[in-house]
Amino acid sequence: MKLKDLKNKYENKMIFIVGSGSSLNAVDTNDLKDSIVMAVNGGILKVPFANMYVSDDIGVKNWSYFDIVKKSNCIKFFYDKKFSGKCDDLKNVCLYSHKSWFSPPDTYNLPDGLQLTKDIPIIGARTSFASALHISYILGFKTIILLGNDCQLSQDGKKYRYFFQYWNKDKQPYRLKGTTFNKQTQNQGFDNKAFIEYWEKFCEVNKNILKYELKIYDASNGALNCFEKIDIKDIKNIIGK
């Protein structure tokens, strides 16, 4: 399966992209079962019924929740440089490439690397959520609702990175290999400032597309302010439109 062959397959439709930020703990995702849903990384735990799954991070294979991905019939979008030759046992796989890999401190010297187009490769990588957004654009979606794209540790005193950290210990996913995940190790790979800067630059580069062509609503209770905010309580109203 090739991404270019799926171009505009969902023209003018709406999609929910579900990440794994801690704000998702307050969201009843059962309301999304009749909608088109794309899960990102650990977000699959909140929406095991997702139609699509996206990841730039080969490390997801080391998490217990990846078993849900294996069993799902959803389309699985993976970053080719990380997953090529490592997902041959999965069905409905679509590998994609990036224009570049964004990494501080020389992160944003090539603005064209964040320009949305319908062509391959997709925008420069910094977060799997951005890959999901660009893939959704290529697929033709007109309206995109972001959930769990917090770009921060929760501000409720517990400072959790992911929604599942609120769950009972016996229900929480765990790493099968590598460093044990806990509150002390959760900051590995997490750079609040870099994520926010990335998204702000993305919105600046794509301001005309976001104004005239593509509508993005941010229902995440997080640190971003560059997308139009909506209250998670309004999701049912949005679905009903």
The secondary structure of 75-132 as a DSSP string is: EEEEEHHHHTTS-TTSSSEEEE-BS-B--TTS-SS-GGGG---SSSSBSPBS-HHHHH
d(CA 106, CA 86): 30
The encoded tokens of residue 236 equal 């049912």
Express each pLDDT in 176-191 by its tens digit: 988 888 888 888 878 8
Tens digit of pLDDT for each residue in 179-231?
888 888 888 878 888 899 889 999 999 999 999 999 999 999 999 999 999 98
Q: pTM, whole model, 2 decimals?
A: 0.94
Which helix (H) or strand (E) segment holds residue 196: the answer is helix 192-205
H or E, element range at 14: strand 14-18
CA distance from start to end of the chain: 32
- Owning domain of residue 99: 3-240
**In angstroms, rounded to a whole number, what is the distance separating the alpha carbons of residues 42 and 25?**
13
When divided into structural domains, the chain yields a total of 1
Identify the CATH number of the domain in which residue 34 sits.
3.90.1480
| Confidence check: pLDDT of 115 > 60 | yes
Over residues 11-48, the pLDDT tens digits come to 999 999 999 999 999 899 998 999 999 999 999 999 99
